[in-house]
C-alpha cells in the first residue's frame, strides 16, 4: 500500500483498523510496514482523506490467499488479515488445525439426558400458585426411560418477556431502531436484519410496564398464539402478519425470501450465470453482485464486461447498496440505474447483460450496442438461471421466538433453594420446556429462555393485567436431583394419580 504523505493528516484511523498492526504514525504521518502488510486495503477503506492506495502490481514473493474476497498477499512466515492462514515455505497453511468433536467436547459441555428432555405432563392448563411460596400447581413423579424423574409445572406470569418476529423478505420495512406500532401505540422496534429476513422485537420489560403495557402484552400473546396482527413501522411499512404464514407488506403478499445477497448468488449459481449472459448483475439491498468482476466469475474465466456499478465497493464484484422499495429491496426501480458507467474500451458490441434479484422474481435482459443498452427478451439460458434462483428461494413466512426470564419468583414453587434450580438448568440437570417444546437457555445468570412458538400448542400463551405474559413452564429432572435441590417433596404426586384426576376433570 502507498501512503500519499501530502494527503495524510495523521488522524490515525488506519492505525486503529489495520488488522495486522502494520501501520504506525511517525511525525503524524502513516507509515506502513511492508513486511507485515498484506494489501487487504482496510486502511484505504477507512482513510477519510483517501491518502492510501494499492500498488498496481502484486507484492513480489507473496502467496495470494483466495479463501475470501479480500485476496491477501502474504509474506513468508506471516499471516493474512484474518490470521487464519499463514505463508509457510511458500504455501498457505491453516493457523488452527481442523478439530474433531472429541477435541472440543469438554468445551461444548453436557447435554440433557434423554430421560429428562420431555416433561411427564405439560403446564398447559396447569394454572399458577400465587404467591410462589406455595408449591407449583403440579409436581409429578414418574418414570421416563426407566429412570425416576420429576416434572414441576406452572403457568408462569413473566413480566420480563417479549417476542422476536422474523419476517422473510428483501423488502425494506423501515429503519433499524424504528418504533413498531399497533393502532398508533408503540409495542416494539425494528432490530437487525438476519439472513434475508427482517427482525422485530416486540415487548420486553420496559414496554410491558410502560403506558401501552396492556396493548404490548396482548400483542406478544397474539403473535405467540399465531393469531393475525397488523403492525406499522413508524415512517415505514404496514405489516399484516401471522406466524407460519406469508407476510403482507404494504398490501403485497411476499412470496419468496432471498437466497442470500447478490454476492452469495454469484457463488451459488456460477455455472448458470456463465451460460446465461456475458454479464450478470444480481440486485440486492445488502450487496449487489457483478459477475465478471466477482471471484465467482473469475473462477470460471468470465471476461470482464467493463461495467461499473453504483454503490460502495466492498471487494471486487460486491457493492453495498441503499434500501428502498425497488428491485432487490434497493431504491432502484429501473434496473439499468444500477450501472454507474461502462468502459467502452472493454465492453464489446453485442455483449449481453442479465439483471435480476435475489429472489429471481424480476429479471430483464439487455444488449450493448456500442453506445448503450437495449432491452431484449430473456434467452432460454437466462430464463434457466433466473428460474434456478427462484426455485432456490424459499417461501417467505413469518416466524417467532418467545423470550422470557424465568429466573424470578416462579422458582420458589419448584424448590426452597431457587439458586439450585438455576444452577441445575445451566448444568443440564433440570430441563426447561415450554408446553413440552424444547428451549434454548441463554448463557450467563438467571434462567432466560427462548422457544419457537410454532412448537407450542396454539392458545397456550396468555397474559394477566399485572401486566405480564403467561407461558406454560415445565422443569423435568431426575428424582434424586429434585430431592437434592430442596424440592417440594410433600407436594409430589404420582403420574398415574395426576392423569386419573385429569380424566375426572374432563368427565
Summarize as ranges the residues that interact with ligand SF4 (CB under 6 A): 1, 18, 20, 22-23, 32, 37-43, 65, 67-68, 70-72, 80-82, 84-85
**12 or 372, CB closer to ligand SF4?**
12
Minimum Å distance from CB 27 to ligand SF4? 18
Minimum Å distance from CB 80 to ligand SF4? 2
Minimum Å distance from CB 105 to ligand SF4? 27
Q: Return the exposure string of 11-20: e unless at least 16 CB atoms fall within 10 Å of the residue's CB, then b.
A: bebbbeebbb
Minimum Å distance from CB 34 to ligand SF4? 9
Closest CA to 244 of 230, 220, 217, 225: 225
481 close to 413: Cβ distance less than 8 angstroms: no
**74 or 173, CB closer to ligand SF4?**
74
Instruction: Please tell me the chain's helix, strand, coil percentages from 3-state DSSP, rounded to the nearest 5.
Output: 25, 35, 45
Per DSSP, the three-state class of 169 is coil
Q: How far apart are CA 454 and CA 470, in angstroms?
A: 16
**38 or 140, CB closer to ligand SF4?**
38
Report in angstroms the alpha-carbon separations of 40 from 49, 64, 66, 146.
18, 11, 12, 59
341 close to 266: Cβ distance less than 8 angstroms: no
**55 or 480, CB closer to ligand SF4?**
55
Q: Which three cell numbers stand for residue 95?
A: 493457523
Which residue has the closest beta carbon to ligand SF4? 80
Per DSSP, the three-state class of 483 is helix
CB count within 10 Å of CB 315 equals 18
Minimum Å distance from CB 95 to ligand SF4? 10
Q: Which three cell numbers stand for residue 260?
A: 442470500
- DSSP assignment of 194-238, as one string? ETTEEEEEEE-HHHHTSTTHHHHHHHHHHHHTT--EEEEETTS-E
Q: Work out whether the CA dihedral 457, 463, 468, 474 comes out positive or negative.
A: negative
**33 or 334, CB closer to ligand SF4?**
33
If 0-12 CB within 10 Å is exposed, 13-18 middle and 19+ buried, where does residue 333 land? exposed
Report in angstroms the alpha-carbon separations of 294 from 124, 132, 300, 343.
53, 61, 10, 17
**317 or 329, CB closer to ligand SF4?**
317
**64 or 245, CB closer to ligand SF4?**
64
Minimum Å distance from CB 384 to ligand SF4? 32
**71 or 467, CB closer to ligand SF4?**
71
Minimum Å distance from CB 51 to ligand SF4? 12
Minimum Å distance from CB 70 to ligand SF4? 4
**65 or 425, CB closer to ligand SF4?**
65
Hey, which residues does 365 pair with through a beta bridge?
354, 376
**13 or 185, CB closer to ligand SF4?**
13
Minimum Å distance from CB 281 to ligand SF4? 24
Q: How far apart are CA 430 and CA 418, in angstroms?
A: 12
Q: Work out whether the CA dihedral 454, 456, 460, 461 comes out positive or negative.
A: negative
**15 or 491, CB closer to ligand SF4?**
15
**68 or 499, CB closer to ligand SF4?**
68
- DSSP assignment of 325-382, as one string? SSGGGSS-SSGGGGEEEE-TTT--TT-EEEEEETTSSSEEEEEE-SSSEEEEPPPHHH
Closest CA to 8 of 45, 44, 52: 52
Minimum Å distance from CB 20 to ligand SF4? 5
Minimum Å distance from CB 32 to ligand SF4? 5
C-alpha angle 132-497-158 in degrees, rounded to nearest 5: 25
Minimum Å distance from CB 23 to ligand SF4? 5
Amino acid at each position: 500500500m502507498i501512503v500519499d504523505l501530502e494527503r495524510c493528516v495523521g488522524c490515525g484511523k488506519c492505525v486503529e483498523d489495520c488488522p495486522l498492526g502494520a501501520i504506525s504514525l511517525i511525525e503524524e504521518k502513516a507509515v506502513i510496514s511492508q513486511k507485515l502488510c498484506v494489501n487487504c486495503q482496510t486502511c484505504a477503506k477507512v482513510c477519510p482523506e483517501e491518502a492510501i492506495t494499492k500498488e498496481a502490481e502484486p507484492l513480489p514473493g507473496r502467496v495470494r490467499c483466495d479463501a475470501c474476497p479480500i485476496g491477501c498477499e502474504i509474506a513468508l512466515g506471516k499471516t493474512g488479515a484474518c490470521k487464519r492462514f499463514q505463508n509457510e515455505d511458500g504455501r498457505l497453511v491453516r493457523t488452527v488445525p481442523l478439530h474433531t468433536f472429541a477435541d472440543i467436547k469438554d468445551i461444548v459441555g453436557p447435554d440433557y439426558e434423554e430421560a429428562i428432555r420431555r416433561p411427564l405432563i405439560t403446564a398447559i392448563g396447569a394454572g399458577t400458585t400465587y404467591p410462589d411460596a406455595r408449591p407449583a400447581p403440579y409436581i409429578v413423579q414418574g418414570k421416563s426411560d426407566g429412570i425416576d424423574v420429576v416434572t414441576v409445572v406452572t403457568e408462569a406470569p413473566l413480566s420480563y418477556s417479549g417476542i422476536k418476529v422474523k419476517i422473510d423478505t428483501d423488502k425494506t420495512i423501515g429503519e433499524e431502531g424504528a418504533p413498531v406500532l399497533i393502532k398508533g401505540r408503540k409495542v416494539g422496534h425494528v432490530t437487525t436484519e438476519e439472513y434475508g429476513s427482517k427482525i422485530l422485537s416486540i415487548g420486553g420489560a420496559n414496554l410491558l410496564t410502560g403506558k401501552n403495557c396492556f396493548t404490548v402484552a396482548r400483542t406478544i400473546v397474539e403473535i405467540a398464539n399465531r393469531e393475525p396482527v397488523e403492525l406499522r413501522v413508524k415512517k415505514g411499512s404496514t405489516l399484516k402478519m401471522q406466524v407460519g404464514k406469508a407476510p403482507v407488506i404494504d398490501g403485497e403478499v411476499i412470496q419468496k425470501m432471498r437466497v442470500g445477497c447478490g454476492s452469495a448468488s454469484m457463488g451459488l449459481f456460477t455455472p448458470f450465470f456463465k451460460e446465461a449472459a456475458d454479464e450478470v448483475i444480481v440486485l440486492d439491498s445488502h450487496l449487489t453482485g457483478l459477475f465478471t468482476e466477482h471471484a465467482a466469475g473469475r473462477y470460471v474465466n468470465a471476461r470482464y464486461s467493463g461495467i461499473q456499478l453504483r454503490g460502495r465497493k466492498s471487494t471486487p464484484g460486491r457493492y453495498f447498496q441503499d434500501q428502498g422499495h425497488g428491485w432487490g429491496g434497493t431504491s432502484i426501480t429501473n434496473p439499468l440505474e444500477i450501472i454507474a458507467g461502462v468502459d467502452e474500451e472493454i465492453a464489446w458490441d453485442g455483449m449481453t447483460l442479465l439483471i435480476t434479484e435475489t429472489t429471481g422474481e424480476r429479471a430483464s435482459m439487455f444488449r450493448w450496442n456500442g453506445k448503450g443498452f437495449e432491452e431484449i427478451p430473456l434467452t432460454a439460458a437466462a430464463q434457466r438461471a433466473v428460474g434456478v434462483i427462484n426455485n432456490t428461494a424459499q417461501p417467505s413466512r413469518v416466524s417467532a421466538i418467545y423470550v422470557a426470564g424465568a429466573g424470578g419468583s416462579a422458582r420458589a414453587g419448584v424448590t426452597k433453594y431457587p439458586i439450585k434450580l438455576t444452577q441445575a438448568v445451566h448444568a443440564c440437570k433440570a430441563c426447561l420446556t415450554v408446553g413440552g417444546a424444547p428451549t434454548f437457555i441463554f448463557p450467563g445468570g438467571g434462567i432466560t429462555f427462548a422457544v419457537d412458538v410454532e412448537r407450542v400448542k396454539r392458545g397456550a400463551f396468555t397474559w394477566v393485567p399485572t401486566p405480564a405474559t403467561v407461558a406454560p413452564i415445565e422443569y423435568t429432572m431426575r428424582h434424586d436431583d429434585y430431592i437434592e435441590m430442596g424440592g417440594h417433596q410433600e407436594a409430589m404426586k404420582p403420574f398415574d394419580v395426576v392423569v386419573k384426576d385429569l380424566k375426572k376433570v374432563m368427565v
